[in-house]
Amino acid sequence: MAGGSRPTRGDPVVHPSAVLGEGVELDDGVEVGPFCFLQGRIRIGAGTCLMSHVTILGNTEIGRDNVLHPNVVIGDEPQDISYTGGPRAVRIGDRNIFREGVTIHRGSEKGEVTIVGNDNYFMQNSHAAHDCRIGNSTIIAGGALLAGWVEVGDRALVSGNCVVHQFVRIGRLSLMRGLSRTSRDIPPFCIADGTHTVHAVNVRGLQRAGWNTDQIRAVRNAFRQLFMSRRNLKAAVEEMVNQGPLAAEVMELIDFIRSSRRGVAFGPRSTAPVAGD
Q: SS3 letters for 209-228?
A: CCCCHHHHHHHHHHHHHHHC
Return the CATH superfamily for domain 13-152: Hexapeptide repeat proteins (2.160.10.10)
User: Do residues 25 and 42 make contact, with C-beta atoms less than 8 angstroms apart?
Assistant: yes
210 tagged catalytic: no
Q: Does the pLDDT value for residue 5 go beyond 80?
A: no
Confidence band, pLDDT 50/70/90 cuts, at residue 112: very high
Residue 230: what pLDDT? 81
Dist. CA 191–CA 85, nearest whole Å: 39
pLDDT digits (tens, 9 = 90+) for 57-66: 999 999 999 9
In the chain, the amino acid numbered 73 is V
Contact 87, 105 (CB under 8 A): no
* Residue 15: active-site member: no
- Please give the model's pTM, rounded to 2 decimal places: 0.94
Segment 194-228, tens digit of pLDDT: 999 999 999 999 999 999 999 999 999 999 999 99
94-107 pLDDT, tens digit per residue, is 999 999 999 999 99
User: Which one is catalytic: 40, 148, 153, 171?
Assistant: 148
CB 277 within 8 A of CB 199: yes
pLDDT digits (tens, 9 = 90+) for 121-176: 999 999 999 999 999 999 999 999 999 999 999 999 999 999 999 999 999 999 99
Q: What is the pLDDT of residue 143?
A: 98
Which among 53, 69, 127, 130 is annotated as catalytic? 130
Least confident of 35-39, 83-87, 256-260: 83-87
Q: Pick the catalytic residue: 131, 154, 185, 193? A: 131
Is residue 237 predicted with pLDDT exceeding 50?
yes
Averaged pLDDT, 243-268: 96
Checking if the pLDDT of 67 tops 60, the result is yes
> Could you confirm whether 148 is annotated as catalytic?
yes
Average pLDDT taken over every residue of the chain: 95
Give the pLDDT of residue 270: 64
Quick one: pLDDT band at residue 231, thresholds 50, 70, 90? confident
Structure confidence at residue 46 (pLDDT): 98
